Amino acid sequence: MAKNNKCGYTTKLGLACSNIISYSTHCSAGHPASAFPLGDISPNIQSDLESESPTIDSEDLFADSPDMVMIEMPNEVMLQISSGVIDENSILAFSRGQCHSLAISLAQRLGVEPTILVFNEYDNEGWEDGDLYEDDEYLAENWHHAAIYLGENKFLDIKGVRSGEEIIEEFGYHYPEGAIADGAYEFINITSSRLGSLWRFDETGAAAPPAMAVAEKFVDSVLALRD
């Protein structure tokens, strides 16, 4: 389901691009950040994207460096990040398009299953959760973040160890005010293979194929954040 938004990319003049785009199209100006529309999303997410979006010159985007790697983001946009280095660019990559790749890589190292944040749209409509979460198309449309559950309400992702409330506050922004308070968001375990395939069922263009080779380069750095 395509949804129109303003591009919002900060140009070299310091102004926000006002081109109208959808989740399934690129900005006609070809901005690297056009994969991250800044339309009617929550202020904290918009602020994150504005502050975290890298300002990379197009000539530098494909620079040949042994310490730099390219990672595919939503809408087939390629982003350059420093291999294994947790900074604003890698946080953007593994928070806004490739969190599933990092969660799968961490899960494989730790011998556990990834955990995803899901919005239970049918909570009051007679659906059984077991039936609902067997629907790949539903999960593809309604999961918002992937991480590793450490126990005692602690989750591990690119930003380190965080509580479930912190995860929900950052990523639970798609639905009406009150949804979080009503308990409509919940965490469920999912197999790595299934999580890695959900992007195929997403028709919005907001998901990207797993970038496992790149994500694996960040496993040691993220695990160090547990200490």
How confident is the model over 19-67, as pLDDT tens digits? 554 433 445 444 443 333 333 333 443 444 444 444 434 334 334 455 8
Nearest alpha-carbon partner for 195 in 121, 112, 95, 103: 103
* pLDDT, position 60: 40
Residue 13 carries which side chain, given as an amino acid letter? L
Say if 35 falls within a structural domain.
no
Does 86 fall in a domain?
Answer: yes
The per-residue pLDDT for range 168-214, each reduced to its tens digit, is 888 876 555 544 545 678 899 999 999 999 988 887 777 789 999 99
- 169 or 10, greater pLDDT: 169
Does the pLDDT at position 127 exceed 90? Answer: no
Is residue 34, in this structure, part of any structural domain at all? no
206 within a domain of the structure (yes/no) = yes
Residue of 102, 80, 95 lying closest to 196 (CA atoms): 102
User: Is residue 30 in some structural domain?
Assistant: no
H-state helical runs in the chain: 43-52, 58-61, 88-95, 99-110, 129-132, 136-142, 164-171, 192-195, 212-215, 219-223
User: pLDDT value at position 98?
Assistant: 95
Count structural domains, the chain: 1
208 close to 73: Cβ distance less than 8 angstroms: yes
Q: What is the pLDDT of residue 179?
A: 47
Is 14 among the domain residues?
Answer: no
Residue 71 belongs to what domain range? Answer: 41-227
Q: Is residue 109 a part of any domain in this protein?
A: yes
When computed from its CA atoms, the radius of gyration of the chain, rounded to whole angstroms, is: 17
In angstroms, the CA 67 to CA 62 distance is: 12
Q: Is 10 among the domain residues?
A: no
pTM reported for the whole predicted model: 0.69
CB contact at 8 A, 17 and 11: yes
pLDDT confidence band for 123 (50 / 70 / 90):
low
Model confidence pLDDT, tens digit, residues 59-102: 343 344 558 999 999 888 899 999 999 999 999 999 988 999 99
pLDDT score at 182: 54
> What are the two backbone dihedrals, phi and then psi, of residue 11, each rounded to the nearest 5 degrees?
-80, 175
CA distance 127 to 121: 9
